[in-house]
Structure 1
């Protein structure tokens, strides 16, 4: 699974990358960005399966970055990492297709459980897509 991390706090960004490597050696962090503008460019280049993003960041905030990524036709699995529990952020995230909203600080157990769930959902989605391509399953 290709993963992009967009987080302006270096300790959070690097720590998340390290935790993901401990959870599963097959998780490939394809990019790390410190702001939404850089995150958008990395998403366009790498087309990640999963994006972790903070909300409040320099240049472009996480929600605006996600809108730009969606406007380019990409539909990655999205997890928002935030210190904000304000419902207005969650509400806008839901409109953008955010699947998870994790409050900082993130624990190993919470991240592992979230990643296990995501892997199951992505595998089911890939299986469904394969069956649709073969014409076995009809929408």
Structure 2
């Protein structure tokens, strides 16, 4: 977490600020294959390395879009999107997701998170963040997503 004063008490004052950037994570073929096995999405462009080398416009296999999206939760926790003084942080959904650039097998990605809004709801807060999943060496991100979390104080 790059903002030391980030807490339930101060969260409203931090809207519009970057909360942090995660470490790099490698999206290797083993991770792609495990995701394919878990979800049943075994499309050749993800799992058939030899065919993808021959026929893919990307020169090899690429990660599933939903695999890259699923990385955001763990990377947000690494950054510290759930304040330490929150009793719990729950996934509340997504408002907008756009897949911008395919992630090639072996690429490194990281997440950059900015706090967009905070709204009181019931006994908690709905926190909206902009998450940009960056690809090492690429100009455009893999994806951008507005993610929602319910913070329980």
Q: Same fold (TM over 0.5)?
A: no
Band the TM-score falls in, shorter-chain normalisation? under 0.3
Structure number with higher helix proportion: 1
Structure number with higher strand proportion: 2
Give the TM-score normalised by structure 1. Answer: 0.25
Greater Rg over alpha carbons, structure: 2
